[in-house]
Structure 1
């Protein structure tokens, strides 16, 4: 039971482990989103507009 640290019960220990796991997943997803937003921010909008204008679906 010493390995449980400051937790009063196994349920508390498991709840904390689960919370830390979920937070790690959220941080990972946030990092991926930041990376994708950075990529979007580096997009050459003028070139994209030109390409869309040449598209058969463009107006």
Structure 2
């Protein structure tokens, strides 16, 4: 998967990133910075793209 490829993210994560990006743009950030902030926030909250369901929690 090339860098910047968002295909492994869920629809919910993509919607969250779009909402955050819009908020950052409204706050006066550039498009590039707003996108970086949005995806960094989604990654921090969820740990990245889709998770494997094979993990077991004890």
Greater Rg over alpha carbons, structure: 1
More helix by share: 1
Using the size of structure 2 for normalisation, the TM-score is: 0.35
Larger RCO (CA within 8 A; separation ≥ 6): 2
